[in-house]
Amino acid sequence: MKNKIESYIITGFLGAGKTTILNSLLRQTNNNKNIVIENEFGKINIDATLISGLVEGLFELTNGCICCSINNQLLETLQKIDELKDRPSNLFIETTGIADAGEVGAVFSSFFVDKAFSLNKVICVVDADNFESYVDSNIEIQKQIVAADIVVLNKLNSIDTFKIENLNSIIKTINSFATIAESYNGDLDINVLKGSVKTKEILEIPLSKIEVKHKIKTLLFETESRFNIQQLKYELFKSLFLFYHQIYRMKG
């Protein structure tokens, strides 16, 4: 009988530092065989290049959110991983910043997935510097925290003790059962994953048959000619200035 693959979901809002935290965990488990499923909302996955050298296998799910439009693709990917001859020890799933971790975790309740994979922890990464400014009005980040076993306060280098205590209080109000971990310089102690209660409730969430429609859109511009980097910077900053209330993040 095959051993179940230890699985972890890493979620968090746009710009929280999920990939940095994932890299930290991968470096600490480099003696094991790690597989990563990386989800990017756009057609091109920029973050995948940052982790490819640290894993045995990397599967990319692009052009959609893992919790809705490409949910079937996730199931197909899990099946491919289960069929690998060189079976991995750990599976890390990094979701897009707007994913509902409950929907992703519910996939693990299906018969085939539950037989091959063990969902150990749901980890939500929080940008400590900006969290207070959007948590009240952002239902996505609230859902991510509710579904989490571990909430990682990231980017704490310039945050004072009073603010850290306030962030802890806000998170505990949303999810009093979650373990709160602190991260400086994007590092997270691997032992944190072994210290909190295993995921149970999330496995009981039924798979939703309703397509989730986010209010976030992605645009991809491609050209065979070389970009004028100064012109590109100007256009990006102009867009950010004009639409600051609608743009959460620019990455590239």
Q: What is the tens place of the pLDDT at every residue in 149-161? A: 999 999 999 999 9
* Residue 116 reports pLDDT greater than 90: yes
Angle, vertex CA 23, rays to CA 21 and CA 247, nearest 5: 55
C-alpha 198/C-alpha 177 separation (Å) is 11
Quickly list DSSP for 175-211: -TTSEEEE-STT---GGGGGTSPPP-GGGGSPPP-SP
State the CB neighbour count (10 A cutoff) for residue 130: 14
- Rounded to an integer, the average pLDDT of 224-230 is 75
Of 157-161, 162-166, 201-205, the range with the lowest mean pLDDT is: 201-205
Q: What is the mean pLDDT of residues 158-176?
A: 94
Per-residue pLDDT at 207? 42
Locus of tokens 């973050």: 47
Side by side, the strands of the sheet bearing 57-62 are 57-62, 34-40, 90-94, 5-12, 117-127, 150-154, 179-182
Domains of the chain: 5-204 (3.40.50.300)
* CA contacts within 13 A on the Cβ side of 161: 0
